[in-house]
Chain A
Amino acid sequence: MSKILFKKQLSKDVYMMRLDAPLIAEERSAGQFIILQLDDDYGERIPLTIADADTKEGSITIIFQVVGKSTLQLSEKNVGDIIPTLVGPLGKPTHIDNFGTVVCVGGGIGVAPLHPIAQALKKAGNNVITIIGARTKDLIILEDEMKNIADEFILCTDDGSYGRKALVTVPLKEICERSPKPNMVIAIGPPIMMKFCSETTRPYEVFTQVSLNTIMVDGTGMCGGCRVNVGKEIKFVCVDGPEFDGHKVDFDNMMARLNSYKELEREAHSCFLEQEIKDKEALR
């Protein structure tokens, strides 16, 4: 059970919340995630990355995008509301070390989980280059926070409405061509973006770590719903990950698996929206 302490809308469909969770705040490290549920009987379990934590306040920060019924319901919760199920921190923490030069690439909402990792890398003495990108200006989040950490900061949008008009892979390629090339790349964002970041760095043989957000039920190594092909092995995102070598991840299979319930979810989402509209009309 956790209380919402703070809520802010970051862009059209993106929200930030601080949740009361002293134990998770104390134990969590960069790269880990939580699972929450809005109803103990019928709710769905939603895995979300921990964007930040405050041990003094005993809180964690989550940032999420409204993509379906459950995230829409979450976005409608307000300060003081209770989230009945909150469990974590789950997944293995990011391995933080002084690697040298690290490029942190964040796409859309992926900037949220990237932020604590970039922060920790900076603290460990790395030269941090940050590339953040989104489809359009409105979807850029945490710009200042990322800028503050970065030794070099690049912002781009697909439509050129803000920063450079480019996909994140374009500056990433340029950086890989530098001499010396970067020691490591961390890419977090939509699967397709992580796939193409991995493809971009592959010819340069720059180790590229991606953070996967697959379908999950328990999140503790029991259901196997989160499995992905990594190299020739089957790996479980919740206990072996969420971070993997992007050059080995079978992104096409992962994307297909992410769409397992698309039809059903779309149905649920639109039913829910219709009901909401009806309810609102009834109130008028």
Chain B
Amino acid sequence: MSHHTHEQLAEEAKKLIAEYLYKIDDMKAKERTKIPPQEMPAQDPEIRSHNLDEVALGYTMEQARIEAMRCLQCVKKSCVDDCPVKIDIPRFINHVAHEEYDQAVGVIKEASLLPAICGRVCPQETQCQANCTVGKALKDVDKSVAIGRLERFVADWERATGKIAIPEIKPETGKKVAVVGSGPAGLVVAADCRREGHHVTIFEAFHKLGGVLRYGIPEFRLPNDIIDKEIDVLKAMDVEIKTNFVVGRTRKLTDLMDKDGYHAIFVGTGAGLPMFMGIEGENLVGVFSANEYLTRANLMRAFDKGHADTPIYQSKNVAVLGGGNVAMDSARMAKRLGAENVYVVYRRTEVEMPARKEEVAHAKEEGIQFSFLQNAKKILGNDKGRVKEMQCVRYELGEPDASGRRRPVLIPNSEFILNVDTVIVAIGNGSNPLISQTTPLLNVNKWGNIIVDETQKTSVNRIFAGGDIVLGAATVILAMGEGRRAAAAINKMLAEEIEKEKTAMN
């Protein structure tokens, strides 16, 4: 894919505006599907692989309007069906097409609190954009209306105006809600419960808010500034924030209710212990979990070598094990930190990779090398216990497995050596054991994930949970969806109690 500059794409869109604007409300579906899909402007790959600035630059106003005009405003709204938080997508897109951005913001915010984040990190191609009528008509999901990019455009527009709307808050109820963890699920719960007039406290173990949005997703994909702005909204809503507070350790979960008087708790502690391959050499110096590598680089700012006290491993040749978004983030971060060769080693092929297509494409442009149908067999160290090289094996694709993906089959005697000094393991996380270790009454499944009912309620009264601690490793938007559901259940429970208390008083 050849790189088009921001200027080229902007120029192109201006011409298209001249061509289509006069008939904006007067086009047949067929004509709309002929409007060229708008490419996301991005930093030049050669330049961006050496900096941490955001890769995707965002649509220009003309690009956004052109892209919005591609939407058929169909009655079916399959995009809305496939959105975990049910944003009224056609309606907000129609506002974009008509240059009514503040109205577009309003529509999105009816359903989603964090559009600047979702617009950037949601896997739209498997959600809202998967069954888009335009994509279907053009027989290419990549040509679906770029809903995510439009959502981002709208959110960025709002931020640029400098007046982010603070949601309305109902009169104080006197009820207290504790939110444990400030990742995507927790942020949504905090906002939704506060809007109902409850006092909300967020407890965060780290010194900064955002959870995986901050420590996991790199700056080049989701700038910290955007997370800060979203959190500023919560602060403006008078959500109380306690950082450096490890619920389970600094205070037992149940003590928050028994001693501190919280009426409901939401547990959104996120992903836990990183998984490793279980192969020889995995504890050698130079083998990292993606969690550790990314946390050092992102949260602890180790990329800023001149300022940060937290060190990061100096690598020349890096192997990243895994094929998800976290693997892409790790690989691209390693490149930015100065690695010469970065290999993504994946057991299956590109088609089966769980990573978003866009991330894979970006990684390729940045010179990340993909080693498909290969896997690590053992990691070999030197006399100082440091990674010297990695022995790999080759696979071929066999019959489809339960997930429908073709199962990789080991090719016998296919061992070969990959010359690497660093191995980053990005094959997922287990659950965080802290809460369950210290809260014996809380039911968890055999993987340690908290068991909840359809309202996100746990086995303990007044305690709800959602996000990765329930789902295992999932996505930002699914966590937000769970947070939304939990908040609704908490609000309902508290409203009923308030009602009862009122009746009792009379």
- A contacts, CB < 8 Å to B: 1, 23-24, 27, 37-45, 69-70, 84-90, 92, 217-218, 220-225, 227-229, 234, 236, 239, 250, 252-253, 256-257, 259-261, 264-265, 268
Report the separation of the CA atoms of residues A224 and B271 in the bound assembly, to the nearest whole angstrom. Answer: 12
A114 to B404 alpha-carbon distance, docked (Å): 55
Question: Which of these binds chain A: B67-75, B226-234, B305-313, B334-342?
Answer: B305-313
Q: Is B23 an interface residue, CB under 8 A from the partner?
A: no
**8 A-B residue pairs with CB within 8 Å:** A27-B249, A217-B292, A221-B434, A222-B274, A225-B288, A227-B276, A256-B284, A264-B314
Contact between B246 and A88, CB atoms less than 8 A apart: yes
For B429, the chain A residues whose CB sits under 8 A away are: 222
**Chain A CB within 10 Å, residue with most, of B207, B243, B308:** B207
Chain A residue nearest to B304 (CB atoms) is A42
Q: Is the CB of B244 within 8 A of A85?
A: yes
Chain A residues, Cβ within 8 Å of B304: 42
CB of B434 to closest CB in A, whole Å:
6
Instruction: A12 to B192: give the CA distance in the assembly, Å.
Output: 54
Q: Contact between B206 and A218 (Cβ–Cβ < 8 Å)?
A: yes
Contact A256 B384 (CB under 8 A): yes
Residues of A within 8 A of B289 (CB): 223-225
Task: Report whether B273 and A221 are in contact in the complex, using a CB–CB cutoff of 8 Å.
Answer: yes
B432 CB to closest chain A CB, in angstroms?
Answer: 5
| A229 to B284 CA separation, bound complex (whole angstroms) | 11
Q: Which of B245, B292, B309, B313 is packed against the most chain A CB atoms within 10 Å?
A: B309
The answer to whether the Cβ of B437 comes within 8 Å of any Cβ in the partner chain is yes
Which of B208, B283, B433 makes the CB contact (< 8 A) with A239?
A: B433
**Shortest distance from the beta carbon of B300 to any chain A beta carbon, whole Å:** 7
Give the interface size class of chain B: 35 or more
Q: Is B250 an interface residue (CB 8 A)?
A: yes
Inter-subunit contact A89/B249 (CB<8 Å): yes
B286 neighbours in A (Cβ, 8 Å) = 260
Decide: B292 and A220 in contact? CB cutoff 8 A: no
Task: Pick the contact of B301: A38, A42, A69, A229 (CB < 8 A).
Answer: A42
- Chain B interfacial positions (CB closer than 8 Å to A): 205-208, 215, 243-246, 249-251, 270-274, 276, 282-286, 288-289, 291-292, 295-296, 300-301, 304, 307-311, 313-314, 384-386, 429, 432-434, 437
Which B residues lie within 8 Å of A70 (CB)? Answer: 309
Q: Is the CB of A217 within 8 A of B434?
A: no
Contacts of A261 in B (CB 8 A): 311, 313
The residue of chain B having its C-beta at the shortest distance from the C-beta of A2 within the complex is B244
Tell me, in angstroms, the Cα distance from A224 to B309 when the chains sit together.
19
Residue of A whose beta carbon sits closest to that of B278 = A234
Q: In the bound complex, how far is the Cα of B252 from the Cα of A23, in angstroms?
A: 11
A41 to B304, CA, bound (A): 11
Residues of B within 8 A of A256 (CB): 284-285, 384-386
CB proximity of A102 to chain B, nearest CB, Å: 25
Residues of chain A with a CB closer than 8 A to B207's CB: 37, 40, 84-85, 87
A265-B311 in contact (CB<8A): yes
B307 close to A257 (CB less than 8 A) = no
Q: Which residues of A contact B273 (CB under 8 A)?
A: 221-222, 224, 236, 239
Whether B271 lies near A227 (C-beta < 8 A) is no
Which residues of the partner chain A approach B309 to less than 8 Å between Cβ atoms?
38-39, 42-44, 69-70, 268
